Amino acid sequence: MTAIDFRKEAQDLMEYTRSLRRDFHRHPELGFQEHRTAGIVARELRELGLDVQEGVGKTGVVALLKGAHPGPTVLVRADMDALPIQEENQTDYASENPGVMHACGHDAHTAMLLTVARILSAHRDALHGTVKFVFQPAEEGMGGAESMVKDGVLEGVDYVLAMHVWNDRPVGWLGIVPGPAMAAAERFQIRVIGKGGHAAHPELTEDPVVAAAHIVTALQTVVSRHVDPLEAAVVSVTMLQAGTAFNIVPPEARLEGTIRTFEPDVTREVRMRFQRTVHGVAQGLGCRAEIVLDDLTPAVINDPEVTKIVQETAAELFPEAEIDTTHRTMGSEDMAFMMYNIPGCYFFVGSANPAKGLDAPHHHPRFDIDEDALPIGVALMAASIVAVGERFAAS
Ligand code: NI
C-alpha cells in the first residue's frame, strides 16, 4: 500500500467536490446534450495538466494521467447525463432546467471523478501505469457507453472501475460484490393479432384483448415455474394497448415490457419459455403473436480479483464501514459494454440519510443524496485505482 492518506485528501477537497456537484445539479443536461457539463469537465482536467480529448462518443470527455511507474491502464468512468423529470426539491441547488433533473446521482459521479483526477494528478510519483478518466454521456438508455466504445475508448485498457451512489442504502454502506452486480436488460414488444368485429358478436371474432390478458397472466409463470428459485430473473409487462371503442373487438393488441437476468443460462431459459408461452397462449385462443426482443445491455459482471482489491482497499480505508459483498440489483447499466471483455469492478456507495429526509429512490422527483457520501466515493475510487495499478504492475 502507498502512504497516501486518501481519506484525508478527499475530505480536504470536500468543498471542491460539493460545489461541482451542486453546479451540475443546478444545470442538468439530457443524454448527448451534456455540452455545458463536458465543458466544465474538460476545463478542470486541463487545469491539472492532463491530456484531454473532447467529443468522444459525441459529448464524452477522456483524459489520460500517466504515472511515474510502469503498469496497466485503468479506465475509470463517470456518467454525466440527467433525466427528463421535473425536480420537486426546494434546495438552493435545485435544477434550473425545467423538466430536467439529476435524479440518479450522475452529478455526484462526475464531481467525484474530477476530484479523483485532482488527487491522483498530485501523486503521479505513487502511480503505476496510466489512468484513463472517462466522462460518459447518455447512460440513461441512450447508448452513451456504446457510442464511446465505438470511438475507441477501450483501446489499450487493461482494467475498468466505476461506481454509483446508492440511495437504497445509508451513507457508510458500500456494496462491492464479485460476479454479477447488475442485470442484463432486454425489451420485448408483442403484437397479438386476432380478428376484429362487433362486440355483440364475439363468436365472429378472434379476440386479441382476451388473448393479451391471458398472455400477461401466463407470463407470470416464466420466472415462478421455470427459473431456479435460487437464481434471479424478472419478466415485467409494462404496456398493454388495444381497442378504440366500447363496442368493437379490435383486430390486435400490443404488449411491451422488460426481461432482466444475470446468468446467461437463465437468460436463455427465460427467453425460450417467454416465447413459447406467448405463442402458445395466443394460438390456443385463436390469435397469433409476433415478438420482437431487443438486447439493451448485458449484465455487469465484476471480476473476482479486481473486486477483491477494491474490497480490501475499502476495508483498510473505512474500517467502520458496512461492506456488503452480496448486493446485486435487477437494474441495468451500460457500463456493461465497457466491462464486457475487460476485468473490472462496479461498486455502490451508500448515499441515503433517512433522518435528513434524503432517501427518495433513484429517478424520483425528490431524489437527493447525503453529500457525506462524496468523499467516501472519492477516497475509495482514488485508492482503488492506485491499488489496481500497483497489484497488476507486478504481474
Ligand atoms: Ni444512474
Q: 350 alpha carbon to ligand 1 midpoint, in Å?
A: 13
Q: How far is the CA of 29 from the centre of ligand 1 (A)?
A: 14
Domain 184-297 of CATH type 3.30.70.360: yes
Q: How many angstroms separate the CA atoms of 100 and 26, rounded?
A: 10
Whole-number pLDDT of residue 3: 79
Quote the pLDDT of residue 80: 98
pLDDT at 395: 57
Could you tell me where in the chain the CATH 3.40.630.10 domains are found?
Answer: 6-182+299-393
**pLDDT for position 369:** 98
Do residues 308 and 302 make contact, with C-beta atoms less than 8 angstroms apart?
no
Domain formed by 6-182+299-393, architecture: 3-Layer(aba) Sandwich (3.40)
- Environment of ion ligand 1 (residues, CB < 5 A): 104
SS3 191: strand
* Strands (E) located in 91-232: 128-136, 159-170, 173-175, 179-182, 184-193, 197-198
Averages of pLDDT over each 10 residues, the chain, 395 residues: 87 98 98 98 98 97 97 98 97 98 98 98 96 97 95 98 98 97 96 98 98 98 96 96 98 97 94 98 98 95 98 97 95 94 97 97 97 98 97 82
Stretch(es) of the chain classified as CATH 3.30.70.360: 184-297
Are the CB atoms for 384 and 4 separated by under 8 Å?
Answer: no
Q: How far is the CA of 250 from the centre of ligand 1 (A)?
A: 39
* Residues recorded for the chain: 395
Please check whether residue 325 is in contact with residue 178, taking contact to mean a CB–CB distance below 8 angstroms.
yes
> By C-alpha distance, which of 139, 127, 13, 135 is closest to 63?
135
pLDDT at residue number 141: 85
Q: Does pTM top 0.85 for this prediction?
A: yes
Catalytic positions are 81, 139
- Give the closest residue to 300 by CA, choosing from 270, 258, 338, 266: 338
What does the pLDDT read at residue 2?
61
Strand partners, 260: 185, 234
Q: How far is the CA of 27 from the centre of ligand 1 (A)?
A: 17
Q: How far is the CA of 194 from the centre of ligand 1 (A)?
A: 40
Ligand 1 centroid vs 52 CA: distance in angstroms? 24
E strands present in the chain: 51-56, 60-66, 69-79, 128-136, 159-170, 173-175, 179-182, 184-193, 197-198, 233-242, 248-249, 252-261, 288-297, 300-302, 322-324, 344-352
Cα(210) to centroid(ligand 1), Å: 38
* Nearest Cα residue to 103 out of 167, 147, 38, 41: 167
